[in-house]
Structure 1
Amino acid sequence: MSTTKLPPSSIPIFTTVASYREWRRKAYAEKKSVGFVPTMGALHEGHLSLVRRSLAENDLTVMSIFVNPAQFAPHEDLASYPRTLERDLELLAEQKVASKQPSAVFLPNVHEMYPSGINQDVNQQRGTFVEVKGYGEQMEGKSRPTFFRGVATVVTKLFNAIEPTNAYFGQKDIQQALLLRHMVTDLLLSHPSPNNLHIVPTIRDTSDDLALSSRNAYLSPAGRKVAPILYASLRTAEGCWAAGGSKLDCINAATKIIQRRIEQANEEGLDVEMKLDYLEMNDAGDFEVIEGDVTRSSKGDAAVILSGALWVDQTRLIDNILLGSVGRIVR
């Protein structure tokens, strides 16, 4: 375990797979369960809620902090992604549930995670990568074509290294979490098993329901003022769906909410640029787009993902609401 150039921490930090595995073998020998929360750092209450869930349900809890180059396209914000390690470790040390506190932090460097090297350009990459075919091209995959390849690869590596009994992901990244359940199932992973990959409801700002995200730090004051409109538009679509409206009617109603807020921002003289990326309804099982004339009654209890992405200046915000029978999704 190396502490070179690391901030002080009351929680053990492991920077290599070898050092972590020595610690993990002891947990195996003592028959202790290990909960795992993978993150890219810049922690907020959403991350910490996952940590507390793990503390409540496991003997030991591990968090990883690793900004994964493979899930950033060459034009995306890898270099500027917020890195707040000292504060992250302080926040993590403050978490406590029934006398249990986080047990370890896995803090690898890029070479440790990608021994063959890594290039953000997929065409220049060498080594082993994981793709979940048929599930990574819809929704977020349309806007970020290489994103889920990078996510699936790094999470496979993390699961192999950490060997968690349970793993915890937030609903805000619902497609990512469900895709990882498919991956765990297809690759016959035991740590975690598909049933032990938990999706936890999105944590929101109590003042305006904005989904908490590390990228919210990028927002200007004007951007922060308009950002909650994405969730408000999804709530409009949710109400339309519940009232028996068609998918097309509900998405149109939500889109009008966004368009009207853009107009209001201009009228208010706010120095902010907003652009809707998408609003859509997709089947929660295979991520296929729901047909435009489908209604709640014709869809039955099948789980549906109502999601959207909105650019606020240079910050891309995502959010979602789950419709229908979702008890087996968020648990």
Structure 2
Amino acid sequence: MGALHEGHLSLIRMAAAENHRVVVSVYVNPTQFGVHEDLDSYPKTWETDCGMLKDLDKELAEDGNNLGGIAAVFAPTTDTMYPSGRPDQAVNAKGSFVTITPVGEVLEGASRPTFFRGVATVCMKLFNIVMPEKVYFGQKDVQQTVVIKKMVKDFCMNTEVVVGDTQRAPDGLALSSRNVYLGTRRRKVATVLSKILRVAEMSYLREHRLRDELLGPAEQLTKLLLMEQHQLPPEERVNFEIDYISLADPETMQELDEVDETRGAIISGAVKMLPVEVPQPGEDLGLSDGPPVRLIDNIILKPVKL
């Protein structure tokens, strides 16, 4: 959806290493935003994005290990993507939709009930227009990758879904176009989610398999990090809310009581970084004066037995 960062570029590099021609789609899809979500303020950086893609294509051409480079940038208008008119963003809106259930109804789908309907619909359209042999998605949006894989399978589409690793900042924060909203103060605390997930992962690596054994330490750390902020004065604190911490099946995203060592699992979560309570003079609040920012992240718990 534009506002390109290193996570997007890493996927393009993967595609260029494996394919002769890479098509980059750039489109801010309105139907995956809820009625009160940040469609109007979502960062739109077309000129910067084009410059990044131009530089990347030059880099790919100079690297003799690649099969190809960026053959085209597909940046459609909403009239092109929705020729009968853009459907409303309401849950009960009328229109032509692709709905993938039940995997699209849990976690992100529970918090954002029109999100995966919009994602699946626009991806079906993009796949039909471009007709790619392979499509590349990032692991950061792990539930999205599961939804798209199921859509491709269930609709008998001749497209391979490739998932690239989550790209992170040095402090562990998953790269996201929405990070530009955070500002300096919230950016320092935004690693809370990755820290919580890492605690659960460490429990798995210590051979714990039960839900309480994995998520219990993560929930304890959540309480400690919240307490740390609440003890600070309003001029310094950062308020946040954990939406969910999940231990789910890697193919269905349904919650697990215990990890099957032959299948592994996905630990994922979402946090809402609330606006700065008492801004200080000259403080960097982030893009659009620092609105609420919803961040997601996940860790794949790999199978340990075949």
Letter in 1 for 2:45: T
Task: Report the equivalent of 2:161.
Answer: 197
1:308 match: secondary structure: strand
Q: Does 1:156 align with 2:124?
A: yes
- Whether the 8 Å contact between 1:203 and 1:212 is mirrored in structure 2 is yes
Instruction: Using the TM superposition, give the Cα deviation of residue 136 of structure 1 relative to its aligned residue in structure 2, in angstroms.
Output: 0.7
Instruction: Using the TM superposition, give the Cα deviation of residue 260 of structure 1 relative to its aligned residue in structure 2, in angstroms.
Output: 1.3
Task: Report the equivalent of 2:192.
Answer: 229
After the TM superposition, list the runs of 4 or more consecutive aligned residues in structure 1 that deviate by more than 4 angstroms.
none
Distance 1:325 1:252 in 2: 21
Letter in 1 for 2:241: K
Q: Does 1:321 align with 2:299?
A: yes
Q: Does 1:57 align with 2:26?
A: no
Task: Report the equivalent of 2:45.
Answer: 84
TM, length-normalised to structure 2: 0.87
Instruction: Using the TM superposition, give the Cα deviation of residue 301 of structure 1 relative to its aligned residue in structure 2, in angstroms.
Output: 2.0
Q: Does 1:290 align with 2:256?
A: yes
User: 1:232-253 deviations in whole A, cap 9, x for unaligned?
Assistant: 1101011112223321132121
Letter in 2 for 1:309: A
Letter in 2 for 1:84: T
TM, length-normalised to structure 1: 0.80
Distance 1:111 1:145 in 2: 24
**CA pair 49-322 structure 1, distance change in 2 beyond 3 A:** same
Counterpart mapping for 1:98-109 below 5 A: 98=63, 100-109=68-77
2:24 match: secondary structure: strand
Counterpart mapping for 1:56-205 below 5 A: 56-95=17-56, 96-97=59-60, 98=63, 100-118=68-86, 119-126=88-95, 128-190=96-158, 192=159, 196-205=160-169
Distance 1:114 1:271 in 2: 44
Distance 1:155 1:228 in 2: 30
Distance 2:27 2:195 in 1: 32
Distance 2:263 2:194 in 1: 22
Letter in 1 for 2:228: Q
Distance 2:53 2:176 in 1: 17
Please list every run of 5 or more consecutive structure 1 residues that lacks an aligned counterpart in the other structure.
1-39, 327-331
Counterpart mapping for 1:301-312 below 5 A: 301-312=262-273
User: 1:32-71 deviations in whole A, cap 9, x for unaligned?
Assistant: xxxxxxxx00000000000111111111111011111110
Q: How many residue pairs align between the two structures? A: 277
Identity percentage over the alignment? 42
Counterpart mapping for 1:224-303 below 5 A: 224-245=187-208, 246-269=210-233, 270-291=236-257, 294=258, 296=259, 299-303=260-264
1:47 match: secondary structure: helix
- Whether the 8 Å contact between 2:120 and 2:151 is mirrored in structure 1 is yes
Instruction: Using the TM superposition, give the Cα deviation of residue 272 of structure 1 relative to its aligned residue in structure 2, in angstroms.
Output: 2.1
Distance 2:54 2:220 in 1: 44
Letter in 2 for 1:173: D
- Whether the 8 Å contact between 2:90 and 2:114 is mirrored in structure 1 is no
Instruction: Using the TM superposition, give the Cα deviation of residue 265 of structure 1 relative to its aligned residue in structure 2, in angstroms.
Output: 2.2
Instruction: Using the TM superposition, give the Cα deviation of residue 263 of structure 1 relative to its aligned residue in structure 2, in angstroms.
Output: 1.8
2:135 match: secondary structure: strand
- Whether the 8 Å contact between 1:210 and 1:227 is mirrored in structure 2 is yes
Distance 1:123 1:285 in 2: 27
Instruction: Using the TM superposition, give the Cα deviation of residue 281 of structure 1 relative to its aligned residue in structure 2, in angstroms.
Output: 0.2
